[in-house]
A and B are shown apart, each in its own frame.
Chain A
Amino acid sequence: MGILSKKDSKLITDPLADNNPITIQVLGICSALAITAELKASLVMGIAVMFVLGVGNVVISLMRNIIPSKIRIIVQLIVVAALVIIVDQVLKAYAYELSKTLSVFVGLIITNCIIMGRFEAFALGNGPWRSFLDGIGNAAGYALILVAVGFFRELLGSGTLFGYPVLGDAIEKTGVYSIGYENNGFMLMPPMALIIVGLIIWAQRSRNKDLIED
């Protein structure tokens, strides 16, 4: 990466794979279970978290020397909540359709442990630029897993991707349905999200043995 130093670019690339917030740190699982039945919802949630975490990390980093340590968690919570509400209101005024898609996730963004985790672990101890990169990197790692889970759940559960039928018509029995394939309703249930995340964790750790804890 030309514009970023090696150390800075690692802030973006590490969370994508070997320090992924979902598969390695096992954070943000709740929202991964709740909304990944659709690929579109996964993508929207990923982008929303990327914005909130990127900007939130910068705000916390700028305030890091004046935040009283006794109430720092509350301050972090206020920053996330305020950012999410402002984003939601602006979208409602200028991108109404998108805001309707997003409204389901607003509550989930505020309670996302990755956000509080990055504020606490990184933004409180680093400058704004590096905090921004860290926020974007971690949110991208989170989005990557969400999209992967959303892809499998929507494809195998509803036979569609982004709402478009790709496996044929289940009622008219065309495409793969004509040879006896059925949509797997279990894929749409939250436990299946947990199983898919588990499979990704398994695949990642068997590929890189250093990730296995003793």
Chain B
Amino acid sequence: MEKKTDKNLYTVIFAVVMVLVVGSLLAFTASSLKPAISENERIEKQQNILYAMGYNQNEETTIEFISTDKVAEMFKTKVKDQLVLEYQDGKIISKQTRQEYMDANDGQEPYLIDVKKQQAEAKKGNPRKLPLFIGENEGKTYYVAPIYGKGLWDAIWGFIAVDEDMIVRGTFFDHAGETPGLGANIKQRYFMDDFYGEHLLTSNGVFKGINVAKGNNDPKNERKTDYKVDALAGATITGDGVSAMIKADMGLYVPYFKNLKNETN
């Protein structure tokens, strides 16, 4: 005899009820947890920017961010200004201060600008917003810019802190789904630290970027003007992704730094 659960009508009703129950459960979970998740993401951005500027609680080989209870206060005092540059056709066409940007965008902080969306805008031919965070560490002014690109499996992103000569003073890289032990090592301290002191511009002021190079003949990265850092074993495509995103996104800030130089000279 056919069981009740084998009937077609039962199967259809079961499927519909199951989809409704699971759908509502997931929707309820997502909406009730959204405020907490957004807050965590906001804190993370602040921690990452401060990390690139050299503010952290690192010990020898670890990566320790400023703790979540202190990060908001620290961000307020150490990041003196947040600029939003508008970039189109190789030029910076406008410059907004933090307050101007917030007034025009319902109070949204510039550090929450979605770089991925801005890249898509630029592809459509629209102006692209470039956030730049200006802060101080040990008496020196650091300029921190966000970068965003593609690794082997998924997105990679980060923040690069440079001085007014576009010499790297700190980095932070992160990824959505690179392979643990291989591409995911872009988030390791030894990889990020290698970028310190690397030049982005040639002596003539031409932007060159930094290559994550296989067989780099300088494993301790002592030559800081060779535009190369040592690659990670087994992570060629992720490494190439890091080089590409530095080249693509940091290159856009060059006109700003040239202006800055001219102003100070």
Contacts and interface: CB of A to CB of B under 8 A. Distances in A.
Contacts of A183: 233
Interface in B1-45: 5-6, 10-11, 14-15, 18-19, 22, 25-26, 29-30, 33, 36-37, 40, 43-44
Contact of A68 (B5, B61, B178): B5
Given A35-B180, A89-B33, A96 B40 contact: yes
A93 B33 CA distance: 6
A35 B180 CA distance: 6
Contacts of B11: 68, 70-71
B176 interface: yes
A188 B33 contact: no
Nearest to A105: B180
Contact of A35 (B14, B30, B179): B179
Contacts of B61: 163-165
A38 B181 contact: yes
A170 B220 CA distance: 11
B177 interface: yes
A74 B22 CA distance: 13
Interface string A57-81: 0000000011111110011001000
A185 B155 CA distance: 25
Nearest to A183: B233
B255 interface: no
Q: Report, as a range, how many residues of chain A touch the other chain.
A: 35 or more
Max chain A CB contacts within 10 Å: which of B15, B179, B180, B233? B180
Contacts of B10: 68
B184 interface: yes
Interface residues of B, number: 32
Nearest to B220: A171
Contacts of A163: 61
A165 B37 CA distance: 34
Given A93-B36, A94-B36, A154 B181 contact: yes
B182 interface: yes
Contacts of B205: none
Shortest 6 CB-CB contacts between residues of A and residues of B:
A37-B181, A41-B180, A93-B36, A68-B11, A93-B33, A38-B181
Given A86-B29, A154-B181, 10 more contacts: A38-B184, A67-B5, A67-B14, A68-B5, A68-B11, A69-B6, A85-B26, A85-B29, A90-B33, A158-B181
Interface of A: 34-38, 40-41, 65-71, 74-75, 78, 82, 85-86, 89-90, 92-94, 96, 103-104, 107, 153-154, 157-158, 163-165, 171, 183, 185, 188-189
Interface of B: 5-6, 10-11, 14-15, 18-19, 22, 25-26, 29-30, 33, 36-37, 40, 43-44, 61, 176-182, 184, 219-220, 233-234
